[in-house]
Structure 1
Amino acid sequence: MKIGVVANVLQDKPLTEALRIFRDLGIEQIEPGCGGYAGKAHIDPAKLLSSPAELENLKHMLQDTGIGISALSCHGNPVHPDKVKAKSYHEDMRNTVLLAEKLGIDTITCFSGCPGDCEQSKNPNWVTCAWPDDYLEILRYQWEEVLIPYWKKFVSFAREHGVNKIALELHPGFCAYNVDTLLRLREAVGPEIGTNFDPSHLLWQGMDPVMAIRALAGTIFHVHAKDVVIDRYNTARNGVLDTKHYSDEAHRSWLFRTVGYGNDAKYWKDIFSELRKVGYDGTVSIEHEDSIINRMEGLQHAVDMVRSCAIFADRSGMWWA
């Protein structure tokens, strides 16, 4: 495993400066935003694709610092019912694939997206229950008429350009948000659909990350290290479907925390050990989204925790047997 980072934690700094800071922290890989919600603070695929000189400059910059790219991030909603928004997200994803091809990268991270409830919708409609039956009809429309057809076309395009790992981050608000929905989309579309495994999004839904890793074995293309803390009292009062703003820290049922501030080392060691058992030895990309702690202090703590819990060396086998 290698220590990586979601690079937009330093989106206010030039890429050259951000790379130096990451290197000094012991980070080996970056996952830069290339559009969508992640923005394009460090890498704008459209600009790089139109300028061979700027593309070469990026390659030299990475080579000089010794930092690689684990995946290109393009987290948007390409099936948004607003056609203008959907087109923008889709174009960002398309350009991300083309840039990945130029850089020799086979993995992008993104969301599955979420359509509306019909062709005339203006906003996404994320269904959270199976009754009344209207919701099942919404799900049928979303999956059969929008989601699966879109991803079949996009996977075909990505495959043509050397991107064969589309790592979907399982997050509520999008159609693929848990084990079963990810596997359903993968079965319908193909083996290029996999997971950007982020345990924080699963834990606050009530899932067990180790169980999820076992169920997703063979589909995990990329991993995020982000922690979450569940407020037992707010959850006991309101459950986990919490729509309070992230800034309302005192009243939310859960909060994202820096690695080690939501769960202890045993939790993270179990996750990294299970990842090793299912064959994942790639990058662990730290995503720092903690409003309680300073971002640089939090990032340092996260690196320290990942370094102390992840598994880096090759197996030595059952040398004692």
Structure 2
Amino acid sequence: MKLGFLTACLPARPLAEIAEWAAAHGYEALEVAAWPDLGDRPFTATHLDVANLSERAADETRTLFDRYGLTLSSLAFYDNNLHPDPDERKAINEHVLACVEAAARLGCPTVGTFVGRHPGRTVAENLEDAEQVFAPLVDRAGELGVKLIVENCVMEGWHPDGYPGNLAYSPELWEWMFSLGLYLNYDPSHLMWMGIDPVTALRPYVEKIPHAQAKDIQLFPERRHRYGWPGKAIGRTDPFDVGWWRYRVPGLGEVDWRAVVDTLYEGGFDGVLSVEHEDPVWGGTEDKVRTGLEVAHRTLRPLLIA
């Protein structure tokens, strides 16, 4: 198992600088942000232009990772593959395909995305739509030896009422995903606020997890007594601010990382554990973000077998 991080937390830095910093601070892998340019949308970045990846750029990327002894663990493009606008949905699906093509050229084993959701259709209708949307993507990924992985993030801010906006939030839905040929990019933080024990949920499915993310969560149950499980209903200016929990870097929240890592090892996981830094305390400036990554490294590195 190697320790890496998702580069989206440093959107203004070029990939070469991030790689140099990562290697100097004990990280062994990078999950590279590959969104198209989305302006100021938070937690996204374009550290690799997959839609216009020339052979020269591919060679330079491979050389960069070799220079610093890093593994390119995944290309990250987490967006709504069931977007209600048909043109937007088509563009997102095509960008996932571009990520798959780029991953194959770079020797990268996985591409990460979301299932997503059309908020105006039922869960059952969305699942039927997803079977059609993902079939050609999974087929092409399989042809190229790349695995499509889906993070179990709830994406509640994508739904107008704060309900799950990414239909991958529970083991029930993971099993449906696996039946389509998709894999899981496991993140324990999302399970905890859903009321799902992350270790119990993880144990039966390790063989379907080629890549995992490390994000922690801090819960405030006393606030949940006011808002209820879906979170704030009035005055919710930020669609992702539910009011009773927040993400933290590993070690500053409530995830039992010793148990999570032990369960991954027990199940035979030998991929990359990638820190996804969305901590509002250790965010806002690049210096704070880097400090958060150092906290995460100090927390997780002792748990991994060198």
Q: 1:261 aligns with which of 234, 252, 273?
A: 252
CA spacing shift, 1:240–1:215, aligned 2, 3 Å: farther
Quick check: 1:153 aligned with 2:136?
A: yes
Provide runs of 4+ in structure 1 moved above 3 Å.
Answer: 36-40, 243-249
Partners of 1:230 and 1:253 within 8 A in 2: yes
Quick check: 1:24 aligned with 2:31?
A: no
CA spacing shift, 1:253–1:287, aligned 2, 3 Å: same
Report the secondary structure of 1:90's partner residue. Answer: helix
Residue of structure 2 equivalent to 1:316: none
Please list the CA deviations of residues 188-244 of structure 1 after superposition, one character each: whole Å capped at 9, or x if unmatched. Answer: x13xx1110000111111110100111323211211110000002111222332254
Quick check: 1:171 aligned with 2:158?
A: no
Q: Alpha carbon RMSD of aligned pairs, Å?
A: 2.0
Partners of 1:227 and 1:257 within 8 A in 2: yes
Please list the CA deviations of residues 245-291 of structure 1 after superposition, one character each: whole Å capped at 9, or x if unmatched. Answer: 56998x81100011111127xx1101100111111121110111111
Partners of 1:171 and 1:178 within 8 A in 2: no
Shift of 1:142: 1.5
Q: Distance in 1 between matches of 2:60 and 2:14?
A: 14
Aligned pair count reads 283
Report the secondary structure of 1:218's partner residue. Answer: helix
What's the TM-score once normalised by structure 2's chain length? 0.87
Partners of 2:82 and 2:126 within 8 A in 1: no
Code of the residue aligned with 2:293 in structure 1: it is L
Residue of structure 1 equivalent to 2:278: 289
Task: Give unpaired runs (5+ residues) of structure 2.
Answer: 155-164, 283-287
Code of the residue aligned with 1:303 in structure 2: it is H
CA spacing shift, 1:11–1:181, aligned 2, 3 Å: same
Report the secondary structure of 1:261's partner residue. Answer: coil
223-232 vs 73-82, which deviates more? 73-82
Quick check: 1:92 aligned with 2:95?
A: yes
Report the secondary structure of 2:183's partner residue. Answer: strand
Residue of structure 2 equivalent to 1:311: 304
Quick check: 1:77 aligned with 2:87?
A: no
Q: Distance in 1 between matches of 2:186 and 2:141?
A: 20
What's the TM-score once normalised by structure 1's chain length? 0.83
CA spacing shift, 1:239–1:28, aligned 2, 3 Å: same
The correspondence of residues 162-241 of structure 1 with structure 2, limited to 5 A, is: 162-163=145-146, 165-172=147-154, 173-187=165-179, 189-190=180-181, 193-241=182-230
Shift of 1:39: 4.2
Code of the residue aligned with 1:284 in structure 2: it is L
Partners of 2:73 and 2:109 within 8 A in 1: no
Q: 1:59 aligns with which of 62, 72, 80?
A: 62
Q: Distance in 2 between matches of 1:139 and 1:181?
A: 11
Residue of structure 2 equivalent to 1:105: 108
Partners of 2:115 and 2:168 within 8 A in 1: yes
Q: Distance in 1 between matches of 2:240 and 2:75?
A: 31
Partners of 1:273 and 1:311 within 8 A in 2: no
Report the secondary structure of 2:34's partner residue. Answer: strand
Q: Distance in 2 between matches of 1:246 and 1:275?
A: 34
Report the secondary structure of 2:207's partner residue. Answer: coil
Q: Distance in 1 between matches of 2:74 and 2:168?
A: 19
CA spacing shift, 1:7–1:171, aligned 2, 3 Å: same
Partners of 2:74 and 2:110 within 8 A in 1: yes
Shift of 1:106: 2.4
Report the secondary structure of 1:70's partner residue. Answer: strand
Quick check: 1:68 aligned with 2:71?
A: yes
Shift of 1:139: 2.3
Report the secondary structure of 2:230's partner residue. Answer: coil
Report the secondary structure of 1:27's partner residue. Answer: coil
Partners of 1:35 and 1:93 within 8 A in 2: no
Report the secondary structure of 2:132's partner residue. Answer: helix
Higher Rg: 1
Q: Distance in 2 between matches of 1:226 and 1:274?
A: 16
Partners of 1:179 and 1:215 within 8 A in 2: no
Q: 2:49 aligns with which of 44, 51, 55?
A: 44
Please list the CA deviations of residues 74-132 of structure 1 after superposition, one character each: whole Å capped at 9, or x if unmatched. Answer: 111122120121122112101100011101222111111212435xxxxxxxxxxxxxx
